Structure 1
Amino acid sequence: MMYEIWLIGGMSLVTFLVRYPVIAMSGRLNLSPQFLQLLRYVPPTVLTAIVFPSVLMPDATLAITPTNARLMGAIAALLVGLWQKNLLVTIVVGMAVFFAWQGLLTTIGIA
């Protein structure tokens, strides 16, 4: 039990020491408008890097086929997102298509 407490305390300290200087200096840094514009692309880029491998390689092999329910859900979400520009609708439609497609594949015995 004592080992876990030291481990959690150490991880907390390291996390704090890595992030605090940046937060403390954020009010004193003057960033250019071009740099701030570039920072707006960081969240979508990181999200894409996290999502694409699980969509395109659900079983650790490239699966760009109609039997990939994740890919069908992602395509539906992409199209709805471009059309509606509404995050909640995009997520709901993407998940609905994923679950429906997965259910269809299970019903017909493919997945």
Structure 2
Amino acid sequence: MNAASMSPLTLFAVFLAAGAATFLIRLSFIAVEGRVRLPAWFRTALQFVPAAMLSALIAPDLLMHDSQLFLSLQNSRLIAGIVAVIVAALTRSVGWTIVVGMAALIGMEMLN
């Protein structure tokens, strides 16, 4: 069954259930704050979750093309990503990273 064959009410119920599950998972961390003492190694590991999640979302888009690993100078997304990483390291500015990364991507796409 795909989303197109579901009734609007069923699809709405799925969205509500997914939203409630997400809310309860996030609430669980807030609710236990101060009541449960997490080990220091776990608290340290939690600091890396946002970077790991972002990397997991972005890396396939930069490295893959048509379900194949695409490590080449013709891979404009990979080159723009490398440019963005360099800008981020040099400037520590999210704004400049986005602007320069997108400019690099658009420029390379126009050249291809």
Normalised by the length of structure 2, the TM-score is 0.77
**What does residue 79 of structure 1 align with?**
86
Question: 1:91 deviation in Å?
Answer: 1.3
- Cα RMSD after superposing both structures: 2.1
Question: Which ranges of structure 2 fall in alignment gaps of 5 or more residues?
Answer: 1-7
Question: 1:5 deviation in Å?
Answer: 4.3
Return the letter of the residue paired with 2:85. L
Return the letter of the residue paired with 2:107. A
1:14-40 CA deviation, whole Å, 9 max, x = no partner? 334444333211231223444322211
Return the letter of the residue paired with 2:32. M
**What does residue 102 of structure 2 align with?**
95
Larger RCO of the pair (alpha carbons < 8 Å, separation 6+): 1
**What does residue 65 of structure 2 align with?**
58
Tell me, in whole angstroms, the C-alpha distance in 2 between the residues paired with 1:79 and 1:42. 22
Tell me, in whole angstroms, the C-alpha distance in 1 between the residues paired with 2:107 and 2:86. 17
In structure 2, relative to structure 1, the CA distance for the partners of 1:21 and 1:83 (3 Å cut) is: closer
- Between the two proteins, the alignment pairs up a number of residues equal to 105
Question: Runs of at least 4 residues of structure 1 off by over 6 A?
Answer: none
**What does residue 39 of structure 1 align with?**
46
Normalised by the length of structure 1, the TM-score is 0.77
Work out the percentage of aligned pairs sharing the same amino acid.
32
Tell me, in whole angstroms, the C-alpha distance in 2 between the residues paired with 1:48 and 1:71. 13
Tell me, in whole angstroms, the C-alpha distance in 2 between the residues paired with 1:48 and 1:9. 28
